A and B are shown apart, each in its own frame.
Chain A
Amino acid sequence: MKIVVLIKEVPDTYGERKLNIETGLADRGASEAVLDEIGERSVEVALSHADAHPGTEVVVLSMAPEGSAATIRKGLAMGAGSAVHVVDPGLVGADTGLTAEVLAAALRRVGFDLVIGGNVSTDGSGGVLPAMIAELLDVPSATSLNAVEITEDRVSGERASDAATMRVSATLPAVISVTERLPEGRFPNFKGIMAAKKKPFETVTLADLGIDPEAPEASRSIVIGVSEKPPREAGVKIVDEGDAGEQLAEFLAQNRLV
């Protein structure tokens, strides 16, 4: 079985994240870049299946700027067998539509039985790519899975929908997305990090995929304005000396909050 995991480099959510006010794009220099945590969990789903099923091939796939190779390599250090990195100047500021087209084309080229992505990224918070990619590839999509079972020809699991929990399943090939209910990704150990340096790492451009980022028949979403909100300021801070509950109730009453 061939499992392709979609991973993404994002600004570290533990640091301050900035947008460029002129372009509306992430200011990549402003914060440290990391592999999105949900991507690590997705890799973990694939690797734990591979651990139990020898012969499983795990590929990590990412569309990301040039400087992201080290982040993608983390997927290899965790245990994936190979990596594919789509990088092209034409992808700066790509919207979800273009991103989905690029990843779908890359998936066709790489081949897959199962595609695993995160349910939402921590930067774009879009949460639409798995469904978009499935549509473009005409395969089933089972999104937001809290638990995943993979067999030779099916994938199934518990899906956390909005008002309900459901059990869903799909025949392979299929696309799934997973939630943060799934286990954390394993830490790459020294052996994994050394091995990652020798694993296949393919870099692919838009021309290789036959994609025109400015295809006139596709409507794209563009940023037309950005403004920064002033940061919040801290207010009053008291240390409880036995009456803090009462003082707090007074604060709420004064602000008509009780």
Chain B
Amino acid sequence: MTDFAEDSVLVLVDVMPSGGLAKSAAGLLGAAASIGTPVALVVTEPGKSAGAAEQAAALGAARVLIADSADASVLTVPAVDALAAAAELVRPDAVLLSNSIEGRDAAGRFAARTRSGLAVDVVGVSRDDEGVVAHHSVYGGAYNVDSAVTFGAPVITVRQGAIDARAEAVAEPSVEQLSVTASGRQAATIESIDEAVVTSSRPELRGAGKVVSGGRGLGSKEQFELVERLADALGAAVGASRAAVDAGYVPQAHQVGQTGVSVSPQLYVALGISGAIQHRAGMQTAKAIVAINKDADAPIFDVADFGVVGDVFTVVPQLIAAIESKQK
């Protein structure tokens, strides 16, 4: 198993604890296909790789490397050992990973081990005469920055939900077992895992086309339900400010902003959110922004295409009713 394409791009796809591929795989393989020939690396514990390999091919991986003897109780290091073996074999032009918690850890360790140049939280990739270029959106989208590495294959983590391009499905992928030599690097132990059960049929926040977010202005966990009702009327994902998360209205995974998720939807609706600069950093690249806030001086209005100075508890129910009657 040699003969990998000259322009191979090695992609470490995230696998869920239950075995399937994480959603980020589609964008990663889409990005890889835009700059070369995607080779997917699937790292799982024994017996859990079959479905993931098929999914990777359906998302555009012409070749899939399987490393399915990873010890599931060891954090990060097994994935890095597999990545090192795969990179040795494939000699790719770039290595792509998800900018997820797992992906970042693997990228960091792999880049440090191989002394490769690392580009993190990238929103796009392209090629120029000298190689692969990574595109970053910096300081909440205020700047676009391009980076490259001085030599060799860059290691790149791609922001989840940032890539719209999708690769064509590969009907007959070549699926190969990768032999991995354990590095013996010290690692942390995973004692137990609780996979988050997705109970809601709502779109996921990362990469959502529409987002409705609520802030401290919603007042309580019970009243935050209003945000969810508007989200459902619009078919939108639910977001929140850090203050709403800190107050326990919604889980942290919904936080939009500087230290939460960065979104770039067609429509962003901010309910009872003041628009602190750290919140705006995660949403100001949205196409259209709508805000409802009872304080006419709230900074969120500085970035809103349509602002309503009013009370969310009166304006939003009326808005939901109007949307529902338009949809009839």
Contacts and interface: CB of A to CB of B under 8 A. Distances in A.
B315 A174 contact: no
Interface string A163-182: 11111111100100001110
B307 A236 contact: yes
A238 B144 CA distance: 33
- Interface-centre pick from B100, B138, B154, B288 (highest chain A CB count, 10 A): B138
Interface of A: 13-19, 24, 38, 95-97, 100, 120, 122-136, 138-144, 156, 159-171, 174, 179-181, 217-229, 231-232, 234-240, 243-253, 255, 257-258
Contacts of B1: none
Given A168-B189, A258-B327, A131 B104 contact: yes
A238 B308 contact: yes
A167 B319 CA distance: 43
Contacts, number: 286
Q: Which 7 A-B pairs have the closest CB atoms?
A: A245-B318, A240-B310, A249-B322, A131-B108, A128-B108, A235-B305, A245-B319
B247 interface: no
Given A100-B112, A164-B193, A181 B145 contact: no
Contacts of B303: 232, 234
Nearest to A176: B188
Given A163-B195, A249-B322, A132 B112 contact: yes
A130 B278 CA distance: 23
Given A180-B259, A257-B266, 13 more contacts: A97-B116, A128-B105, A134-B186, A160-B101, A162-B22, A165-B194, A171-B186, A221-B149, A224-B148, A226-B145, A237-B307, A248-B306, A252-B267
B277 A244 contact: no
A97 to B, nearest CB: 6
A163 B139 contact: no
B202 interface: no
Contacts of B104: 126-128, 131
Given A19-B139, A132-B108, A219 B116 contact: yes
A15 B277 CA distance: 8
A17 B139 contact: yes
B171 interface: no
Nearest to B320: A245
Contacts of A180: 242, 259
Contact of B76 (A131, A179, A239): A131
Contacts of B101: 127, 143-144, 159-162
B314 A249 contact: no
Nearest to A231: B142
A248 B107 contact: no
Given A135-B109, A168-B189, A236-B306, A221 B16 contact: no
Interface of B: 14, 16-17, 22, 75-76, 80, 98-102, 104-109, 111-113, 115-121, 133, 138-139, 141-152, 154, 157, 185-196, 210, 234, 242, 252, 258-259, 266-267, 276-278, 281, 284, 288-290, 292, 296, 301-311, 314-323, 326-327
Contacts of A257: 210, 234, 266-267, 288
Contacts of A14: 276-278
Given A168-B191, A220-B149, A129 B108 contact: yes
Contacts of B188: 140-142, 168-170, 174
Given A97-B117, A140-B186, A249-B322, A131 B314 contact: no
B259 A120 contact: yes
B290 A248 contact: yes
A164 B307 contact: no
B278 A13 contact: yes
A186 B111 CA distance: 35
Contact of A13 (B117, B191, B281, B289): B281
Contact of B145 (A19, A140, A142): A19
A96 B133 CA distance: 17
B288 A255 contact: yes
Contacts of A143: 101, 105
A164 B194 contact: yes
B186 A139 contact: yes
Contacts of B296: 237, 239
A129 B104 CA distance: 9
B98 to A, nearest CB: 8
B315 A240 contact: yes
B315 A248 contact: yes
A128 B220 CA distance: 35
Contacts of B118: 95-97, 128, 221
A95 B117 contact: yes
A20 B54 CA distance: 46
13 contacts: A97-B116, A131-B104, A134-B186, A135-B108, A138-B186, A143-B101, A162-B100, A162-B102, A225-B146, A238-B306, A238-B308, A239-B310, A250-B322
A134 B150 contact: no
